[in-house]
Every structure is written in C-alpha cells, then in structure tokens.
Amino acid sequence: MKALRKAVCWGFAAVAPCELVLVLCVVGGVRIAPAAWLAMEVAGLALLAAATALLLFDYRRHRREGLPRHSAFRAAIADNVPASVRMLMSHEISLATSFLRWVTRRGPHGVHDGDHAVPYASAQTATMYGLFFVCVVETVAFAYVIPWPVVQAAALVLDIWGCYFILALHASCVVRPHVVGADGSLRLRYGALLDIRIPANRIAAVRLDRAFAHGKPAAADRTAVVDVAVGGLTTVTVELTGPLRYVRVLGQHAEASAFRFYADHPVAAVAALRAGGRSSHDSDSLTASDS
C-alpha cells in the first residue's frame, strides 16, 4: 500500500505538467497525435482510479478506528495529500473567497462582536497596485512581442494568473486583519497565507516598537522573535510568557517567544490588547485602509 501511495503521488507530479503542455499546444494550434492524447487520458484515468481507491481504503480504516465521517474523510486526505499541497490548495481557496469578499464589500473576516480589528494593509497598497500595473503592462507587451503561439498562450495564462494573484493577495490582507479578541487573545494574520492565534493568558507584555523586519517572513530568529511585517516594518511587539508553537506558510511548524507585527494604528492596537480586547477607539473601516 505504501508503494502504491508513492507511485500515485509521483504519477500525478508527472502527468499534470504533461496535461498542461498538451492543453497549451491545442490553444496554440499545434496538432497533437491521437496516440499521445489516448496515452495521457489512460494515464490520467488510471491515476484517478488508484487515488480514489486509496482514499476509500484510508477512509474506511479511520472509520473502523472510531472517527466520525467528517474527521475520517479529513484524515484520509491527510494520508494521501502532502501537507504543502494541502496548504497551497487551502491558500488558493482562501484567496478566492477573500477576493470575492473584497469585491462585494462584505466586511472583515473572522471579526466577531466585541473583537477589535487591527488593519495593516494600507502600508502595502501602493506597492501592490504598482505591481499590478506592471503585470498588466507585461501581459499586453508579451502578447505582441512573443511570436510563437504556444509560448504566447502559456505566457498569457501565467500573466493573467499573476495579475489575479496580486489583487487577491492584497484583498485577503484587507479583509483578514489582525484581531484582538474580546477575551484579550490575539490573532495575527497576513492575508490567507498566515494565521497565528495567541491566547490571552500567553501574552506577557505589549508595547509600541517601530522596527525594521529581519530574517525570513514569519520565521523565528535566534532569539525566538517572529516578524509579521508589512512593507518591511513592524510597529507592535508582543512578548509571551513562554514559547508558543505556530504554523508557518506551507505548513512548517516553529516556536516563538515574541511576535512583532505591523498595525496601521499601533496605539489603538496596543490599547485594545492592554484592555483585554475592549477598546474605546473604534477601528477605522477596512475599506478606508485600502484607499
């Protein structure tokens, strides 16, 4: 069973790029031999059947172990899909939902009654829109410069996805602010890519601390301090009572004893944390933070 699971994983890694190449060839007007189409379809169906069989086998095994249906299904997926792939899929879904929430102006995600939203997206607005403009110009330029239809189609798909990704990433940062809970807890986020929850009883001290970020994003340095920066800056430092385990981007686990994060209004964020989530300052609307 382990060998079959490994074979299916490598099979999908090999077949997916080949399928993409065939689609791009068709879009570009390149004629594909019927035998090649048949071979790819047979390989794809065989891999799909094997993956379905593995999923059903693991689902039944977890059900026999006493897990409820939903938990057994999630455990079966975890057995067959690598953590990094699951995180990427989750990110893409969260980006799409965040983009729709931003377009329809439905308000912040995960902010309940009594919570204090801490926006942070305004520091990167100019940069994001600048990148979006560059991507649009690049998309139009490549459409005229590249003479080969297949390469032109591939570049067009990638450029359109790049434009969408930049807008969706910024949208996710707008609609997913940091959150100071009504119970004094803190939820640090960066769009759909990062979500760190800090219980109120783990917060030892909070202070204003404007600093430049150092090291990798959301990675603990040698002193176990984590930067959740925007535009290379942090404005608030939260010290913990002890090491806290958290999940980085793509599912990597790490520990931190302090977090430094950026807030558009750091004074209000610190006041809300010190007041246990209750702040007399009403946070600015997220729509305004995007302007």
Segment 109-154, tens digit of pLDDT: 989 988 999 999 999 999 999 999 999 998 888 888 888 777 787 7
Whole-number average pLDDT of the chain: 83
Rounded Cα distance between 245 and 190, Å, is 17
Tell me, what amino acid is at 96? A
Rounded Cα distance between 136 and 140, Å, is 6
Q: In the 8-state DSSP scheme, what is residue 189?
A: E
Residues in Cβ contact with 28 at an 8 Å cutoff, skipping those fewer than 6 apart: 148, 149, 150, 151, 152, 153
Same domain membership, residue 233 and residue 202: yes
Q: Which residues pair with 233 in a beta bridge?
A: 212, 230
Q: Which domain holds residue 245?
A: 83-291
Same domain membership, residue 98 and residue 30: no
Buried b (16+ CB within 10 A) or exposed e, 97-108: bbbebbeeeeeb
Same domain membership, residue 175 and residue 122: yes
Handedness of CA 99, 101, 107, 109 (dihedral sign): negative
Give the end of a domain, one of 81, 110, 133: 81
Same domain membership, residue 128 and residue 267: yes
Q: 271 falls in which pLDDT band (50, 70, 90)?
A: very high
The number of distinct structural domains making up the chain is 2
**pLDDT tens digits, 189-205:** 999 889 999 999 999 99
| Helix residue ranges, H only, 28-148 | 34-64, 69-80, 83-104, 125-145
**pTM across the whole model:** 0.75
Same domain membership, residue 271 and residue 214: yes
